[in-house]
Amino acid sequence: MWALRGLRNGVLTTRWPARPDEYAAVTRGPATVPTSAARADSSENVAALCPTGAIGVAASGAVRIDRGRCILCGRCVAARPDMFAWTSGPALAALSRAELVVPGQETPEALAAVTAGLRVRTGALRRSVHLRHVDTGSDGAEEWEILALLNPVYDIHRLGIFLTASPRHADILLVTGPGTPGMAEPLRQTYEAMPHPKVVIAVGTDAVSGGIVGPAHDAPTTAGGVGDIVPVDVWLPGSPPSPFAILSALLLALDRLPTAAVPRASRGGKR
């Protein structure tokens, strides 16, 4: 019965990133400002649209979005489609926190230095990579997406990437949740227990900035997400990010993304 069903369905596992995948291209990411020319009239308070303080307006009226704070509630896109739009596709991760702010604030030189430093550290991790996941107060959404990476559709084992229960065996630390005080020390200890070289990925808007329970609401979380507890190498916004976006962040950290799939701002000196 199951064998027949398998034969009938064929191979469902994605070949992404080696081959394009239609579904990867349409997954939704945080809101953005499509052009740097977007201006807000002095009489309108577009920043008030956002429940997490992701939208900022300069004195000149120039609008910017911190995608690291966006929880994809859709209020800005619904109210001002002329000013805001959704991002799409898996290339959402950034190698610096400043890179998540659009229009960009990161200089190409600073980004190239970060990219080169990470490349040196992860050069030895190309073929067999183990992930340790720590939940620091997540609502559970990111965990579903991380677990989906193990199902037959995404199957990260095909790329030599595996989950491990022990930080002693881990190369990459995936951190979800805003970094609640009770999880700060366990997270620190997990990071310390990992061997070098090690990479930290903040997975989801909560981990990147605190999200809806972050500093904009004076909530009892750490001030700005898990970057206040451990040094973050890759910042992945999304509420939650799709499995394709998580996979893209992993491959970005390992310098294994094809050039076309690397986020434009992170290309730096990509070979």
Q: What region does 39 belong to: left with phi over 0, alpha with psi -120 to 50, or beta?
A: beta
Residue 17, preceding bond cis, omega within 30 degrees?
Answer: yes
Among 24, 40, 50, 184, binds ligand SF4 (CB under 6 A): 50
Q: Does 73 bind ligand SF4 (CB under 6 A)?
A: yes
What single-letter DSSP state applies at residue 161? E
Rounded (10°) CA dihedral 256, 262, 265, 266: 0
Would you say 65 or 161 has its CB closer to ligand SF4?
65
Q: Does 253 bind ligand SF4 (CB under 6 A)?
A: no
Would you say 75 or 267 has its CB closer to ligand SF4?
75
Confirm if 213 and 139 have CB atoms less than 8 A apart. no
Among 40, 49, 208, 226, binds ligand SF4 (CB under 6 A): 49
Tell whether the torsion through CA atoms of 34, 118, 123 and 226 is positive or negative: negative
Q: Does 54 bind ligand SF4 (CB under 6 A)?
A: yes
Q: Does 108 bind ligand SF4 (CB under 6 A)?
A: no
Q: Does 76 bind ligand SF4 (CB under 6 A)?
A: yes
Confirm if 149 and 247 have CB atoms less than 8 A apart. yes
Among 31, 236, 254, 265, binds ligand SF4 (CB under 6 A): 31
Burial of 164 (0-12, 13-18, 19+ CB in 10 A): middle
Q: Does 57 bind ligand SF4 (CB under 6 A)?
A: no
Among 17, 33, 40, 52, binds ligand SF4 (CB under 6 A): 52
Query: Which residues would be at the binding site for ligand SF4 (CB under 6 A)?
Result: 30-31, 49-50, 52, 54-55, 65, 70-77
